[in-house]
Amino acid sequence: MKGLVCKVCGYVSLDGTKDVCPICLAKHAFEEKEDAYKIPDFKATSGESEKKHIPAFTVIKQCGLIPGTGCIDVHVKIGEVLHPALPEHHIQEITFYVNNKFVANVMLISDVNPAAVIHLKENTKGKVQVIETCNLHGKWFNEVGI
């Protein structure tokens, strides 16, 4: 999928912002790339590679971390079939967006399972998007409505 990518750190801008990278703070470092990230074809039968790379969501309308706040937990694991966590093949980062705007970036090493969570305010509406980065197979995108 075509997108704006930071030439310094590889962050993908979903909202078209290209002045300052929110990850590495580089100024004017974005370039348009035809293959910025992959969007799985859910109409086709997913292959083994897609099953290990498509971000999978669980949305919980009651916060498990801060009870009584009404926040929404959005859990993401990488892969319908859990992605490997090996030194030679692992997920390097999970980047969260809400309605195409950057909200969080989780950096991972091969010693942890490829999963992360964000806690959204209770009134948040729209879509949560995730782009994950595999050290061998690049960036993969998925989204869920909230």
Q: Supply the pLDDT for residue 61.
A: 87
Provide the number of structural domains found in the chain: 2
* Average pLDDT value over all residues in the chain: 91
Q: Are residues 65 and 27 in the same domain?
A: no
What is the per-residue pLDDT across 88-104, written as a single tens digit (0 to 9) for each? 999 999 999 999 999 99
SS (H, E, C) 109-137: CCCCCCEEEEEECCCCCCEEEEEEEECCC
> The domain that contains 87 carries what CATH number?
2.60.40.730
Element at 18 (helix H, strand E): none
Range(s) of the domain holding residue 9: 1-36
- Contact criterion met (CB below 8 Å) for 52 and 140: no
Q: Do 54 and 79 belong to one domain?
A: yes
pLDDT tens for residues 14-62? 999 889 999 999 999 999 999 999 987 755 555 677 788 999 999 998 8
**Same domain as 137, residue 69:** yes
Domain match, 20 and 47 both: no
